[in-house]
Amino acid sequence: MMSSLQYVPIRHENEESLMIDEIIEKAEKGQPVDINEIYELMSITNTDDLEKLYSAASRVRDKTFGKNIFTYGFVYFSTYCKNNCTFCYFRNTNGIDRYRKSVEEIVEHCGNLQDAGINLADLTMGEDPLMYANNNEQLLKIVSAVRDEIGINIMVSPGAMQENMFAPLRDAGADWFACYQETYNRPLFESRRINQSFDDRKNQKIWARQNGILAEDGMMIGIGESVMDRAQTIQEMVNLNCEQIRAMTFVPQCGTPMEKDPQRDSTEELKAIAVMRLLKHDAMIPCTLDVEGVAGLKTRINAGASVITSIVPPKKHFAGVAQPEMDIDNGNRSVEHVFEVLEETGHHRAPTSEFRKLVADRKSKLPYKN
Ligand code: SAM
Ligand code: MD0
Ligand code: SF4
């Protein structure tokens, strides 16, 4: 019979710190880091090592992008959804008030974001059947209206689409496509994204990039994953080579099967941001305002994030996702306030001309030939 005792290496604290130093140093130089090393970084608990991790990630970000941080406005234009993800407030069976914005309202909103100096509008929706009807007619209408009337860079976050819909989405004006796997642990994915295909969702990123659209992948922290799952998810996301990758801490939502789950602090998210930065120096990595509001901005920038996302102007009745209301109507997620807090980190907002250059550069490297 096999013994149930497992071999657990006994290391002294300073031995462990030395090993962490070596991994960080290697990653900072851009040398390959294997899964066990990613696991070691994601297992750090002591404050000194955490500080070293964040500082190295910040140095890499500053070396790659300078002191400028990009900014994205969040436009959640339809909160209707046919799906029932266990973690999401907007899941179909949650009896909440929902809205769908008109093309005119969306265009006006994107114009305001552009005028305020925001670099990109993230057009996000639940998997709303009305948007997907007639080969995505309404979705394409919205995207092309924003492109034609405003001209701000566009990210679309519509959930999972059919492969043949990526070219029309690109032609309508989408520069970026976001679709988060949440976890690369397949059974865990299937228990959270009920009745959705793991492979289909993974393919979204591949299809987007093959069709000339930049892609974003993302992971959630606190949905039942182990530390090794986190490490493997980071590795998979990096290997998929999306231009943007993110981590978001799960926030329990009323009326969902996970409402009684504990609310975690952001330490694991910060570690994930820093590790992703060390593994992929030129990745766009969000500092989302959708988990802790503006209170969480500095820690995420200090962990190596390069773009502030989920900026939502007040009093326009647009929701966030993880925090549908937090910091919105008090104006804390507004453009001016976010810019002020950013300056306190010693960084500045990137001009849109710089973002446009970055987008053109990344598009030229896509596995797509026109
Ligand atoms: N419906 C589209 C989809 O699922 O891809 C786009 C919008 S969806 C609401 C965007 C992302 O928000 C999800 O992929 C998930 O990572 C994140 N999210 C949803 N609920 C969350 C929660 N309670 N806490 C943290 N993040 C959450
Ligand atoms: C964010 N609330 O950036 C948004 C959202 C969807 N592409 C992004 C999760 O945090
Ligand atoms: Fe719908 Fe997206 Fe929420 Fe899932 S995460 S229920 S697909 S809005």
pLDDT tens, position by position, 33-45: 999 999 999 999 9
Q: How far apart are CA 351 and CA 208, in angstroms?
A: 26
Of the chain, the percentage scoring pLDDT greater than 90 comes to 88
Nearest by Cα to 268 from 232, 220, 320: 220
Average pLDDT over residues 312-329: 87
Q: What is the pLDDT of residue 6?
A: 52
Confidence of residue 29 (pLDDT cuts 50, 70, 90): very high
Q: What is the pLDDT of residue 16?
A: 82
Ligand 3 pocket, residue 91 CB under 6 Å: yes
- Residue 305 is given by DSSP the state -
Q: Token digits for 67?
A: 């002191």
Q: How far apart are CA 78 and CA 21, in angstroms?
A: 46
Minimum mean pLDDT range among 11-15, 184-188, 327-331, 352-356: 11-15
Instruction: Select from 321, 323, 325 the residue to mutate for testing ligand 1; criterion: most ligand atoms less than 8 Å from CB.
Output: 321
Q: What is the pLDDT of residue 200?
A: 98
Question: Which residues, judged by CB distance below 6 Å to any ligand atom, belong to the binding site of ligand 2?
Answer: 74, 122, 124, 157, 178, 286, 288, 290, 309-310, 320-321
> What is the CA(180)–ligand 2 centre distance, in A?
10
Q: How far apart are CA 244 and CA 231, in angstroms?
A: 17
* pLDDT tens profile 120-160: 999 999 999 999 999 999 999 999 999 999 999 999 999 99
Q: How far apart are CA 208 and CA 267, in angstroms?
A: 31
Confidence of residue 334 (pLDDT cuts 50, 70, 90): confident
Rg from Cα positions in the chain: 20
Q: Token digits for 91?
A: 């899941």
> What is the CA(317)–ligand 1 centre distance, in A?
19
Q: Token digits for 189?
A: 């994915």
Listed by start position, the domains of the chain span: 69-220+252-263+281-363
Ligand 2, atom nearest to 288 Cα:
10
How many other CB atoms are found less than 10 A from the CB of residue 162?
11
Confidence of residue 327 (pLDDT cuts 50, 70, 90): confident
What residues are paired with 69 via a beta bridge?
349
Q: Token digits for 320?
A: 């966030």
pLDDT at 113 over 60: yes
Ligand 2, atom nearest to 216 Cα:
7
Q: Which DSSP helix (H) or strand (E) runs through 216?
A: strand 214-221
pTM of the model: 0.96
Crossing angle for the helix pair 13-28 and 267-279, to the nearest 10 degrees:
50
CATH class in words for 69-220+252-263+281-363: alpha beta
- Residue 262 is given by DSSP the state P
3-state helix, strand, coil in the chain (%, to 5): 45, 15, 40
Crossing angle for the helix pair 47-65 and 13-28, to the nearest 10 degrees:
10
